[in-house]
Structure 1
Amino acid sequence: MPSQQETSAWRPQVPGVVEVFHAHFTEHAYPMHVHDAWTLLIVDDGAVRYDLNRRERGTPHDTVSLLPPQVPHNGSPATAHGFRKRVLYLDAPQLDASLIGPAVDAPDMADPLLRRRVGQLHAALAHPGDELEAESRLALIGERLRAHLRPRHAADRSTSDHPKPDRGAALARTLRELLDERLLEGLTLDEASTLVHAHPTHLVRAFSTAFGIAPHQYLTSRRVDRARRLLLDGRSPAEVATRAGFYDQAHLTRHFKRVVGVTPGRYAGRPAGRDRPATRD
């Protein structure tokens, strides 16, 4: 098989994520090197063999691998057809330095839920305008990683990471009010956390428990509702995207179709012989 190299990399506008890197390699082998960030790796096809701190490791497709900062490692294909991977480089403060040792000892985690969340985070990071979703998913991923690396304290975390019922309901209501107020300009999870004086993970869990929907899903559905009204007023999808708080028309179309089942253009279509209502300012 001829050597193949397909890569893409970008820096998303999401606090805590230094870089997103997707690659397909058939023969490339990484020399020993280090990163100043946490390396969160999933392999979608094939497998990677690597040495971490002088110990041989591997990444079958159903695992999540976490390589700590400043620890030497390499990497090479473990199958004849190479590997396809997706990597998130997380800012060092995202995980406490005390977790470096446990990550060196057990970097590969067979956790379907964690893997699914990492994949969902990659999907969110690929689309500008979905920063709140990405931040929410990153918060839950961080919680899951800490649970793997500090299993002895799982009981303590289960208590501290989940707000008490009354406190949680109050947090959820406050966050919903903030999201309603910032429908168009949006709200980052870090901003919300600062405003209500609560940890981001607490906020996500409290909101989801109280309302049965994640904060980013709530914000998106409110924006889609606004878009529906604007479309029925006769405005174009491009104009509606801006007026409903979406990044651009493609961002509107993707979420609108997911929620409503049709594209904005088809939704706004009128049966023959019917006049569109007059456009209102």
Structure 2
Amino acid sequence: MPSPAPADNTRFQHLPDFGGLDLLHYRYDGATYSRHVHEGYAIHVIDSGAERFHCMGASRVAGPDDIVLVNPDTVHDGQEEADGCRYRGFYPSPELMTSLAEAFEGNGLPWFPDPVIQDPHMAQRLRGLIALLEHGDNRLASDSAWLNVMGDLSRRYGRQRLETRAGGADHGAVRCVREYLDAHSSENPSLADLSELCGLSPHYLNRLFQREVGLPPHAYLVQRRLIQARRLLLAGLSPTDAAVAAGFSDQSHLHRHFKRALGLTPGQYHRAIHRNSARSYKPPCRPAPYTAVPIYGNETP
């Protein structure tokens, strides 16, 4: 357990709907971790400063953009090596990592032989994954990023090699998933839900869907929600009500995607539509004089 640290040094989030995953942003600020183990994995990225810890029989140092990978039931400690050490990460359970392996041709939990990995590009991808998981407004996006990022991390740095599982040969799988997303665009399904629906593995379905549709399932779902939100705005709903009814987490979420797609905000769209529809039509006081116009150049009416 760490020594006591100010509350503002820690930002913690528990995701019960994502395999009970724990997310953590932490700043050492003089605190130290005594020797301890985790039931699951400890995976984090150093944002600034440096961390020193003892793990797997040796002293390790991780600096900015380094990735720390601690396996389950592995004794380790931790302290600040350089001032201002901050990291962000998560603690996936063995069950969650087993589910990851099952999406590929894996036959067991990944084991990371190197506690410190120097891979700035992968570190940035992990940061992006954490940001998606923290917001949690699109489960398909979180699932897709989890499979892609954690699958690559396990393939590159784990001892167990993960290969893509081809899945079934159902040519109607993509059509089935599209029809489901069209009919349930306000819901927030997971890749596992869609996988069970069509009989393909989650990772294979994600790749197949993107290849045939041009968008991964989570991006396709956002577009369906945008279509529904636009219809609701046309029907008179406020941007706030339209966002919730269409399946967006809140108005700011709709605002971001709507402006990116249409070039104006939902509020601007709503005001323009209903300002124009509120104007009553008034005919001119005097009809304009009728002038016959030839249909063809040399004809007279």
Query: Normalised by the shorter chain, which TM-score bucket?
Result: 0.7 to 0.9
Distance 2:118 2:172 in 1: 36
Alignment partner, residue 245 of structure 1: 247
CA contact (8 A) 1:179 1:186 kept: no
8 Å CA contact 1:41–1:86 kept in 2: the answer is yes
Residue pair 1:14, 1:134 contacting (<8 A) in 2 also = no
Out of 76, 80, 100, the residue aligned to residue 77 of structure 1 is 80
Structure 2, gaps ≥5 residues long: 99-106, 280-301
Distance 2:13 2:266 in 1: 29
CA distance in 2, matches of 1:41, 1:214: 27
Relative to the length of structure 2, the TM-score reads: 0.77
User: Structure 1 residues 28, 263: closer, same or farther in 2, change over 3 A?
Assistant: farther
Q: How big is the shift at 1:150?
A: 4.7
Structure 1 position 90, deviation (Å): 0.8
Q: Is the 8 A contact 1:77 1:83 kept in 2?
A: yes
SS in 2 for 1:140: helix
Q: Confirm whether residue 219 of structure 1 aligns to residue 227 of structure 2.
A: no
Partner of 1:41 in structure 2? 44
1:29 and 2:32 aligned: yes
- Secondary structure (helix, strand or coil) at the match of 1:129 reads coil
Higher Cα Rg, which structure:
2
Find 1:264's aligned residue among 263, 266, 269.
266
Q: Which has the higher helix share?
A: 1
Residue 104 of structure 2 corresponds to: none
Structure 1 equivalent of residue 138 of structure 2: 130
Letter in 1 for 2:68: S
1:63/1:111 contact within 8 Å kept: yes
Pair 1:243–1:42, CA change in 2 (3 A): same
Which amino acid letter does the alignment assign opposite residue 15 of structure 1?
A: F
Length-normalised TM-score, structure 1: 0.82
1:145 aligns with 2:147: no
How large is the Cα RMSD of the aligned pairs?
Answer: 2.9
Aligned counterpart in structure 1 of residue 91 of structure 2, from 89, 92, 101: 89
The answer for the alignment partner of 1:15 in structure 2 is 18
CA displacement at 1:147 relative to structure 2: 0.6
Distance 1:237 1:273 in 2: 15
Number of residue pairs aligned between Structure 1 and Structure 2: 267
3-state secondary structure, aligned to 2:74: coil
Structure 1: runs of 5+ lacking an equivalent: none
Q: Deviations over 1:79-132 (max 9, x none)?
A: 12x2121111112123359556x41x2133333443233222212122242222
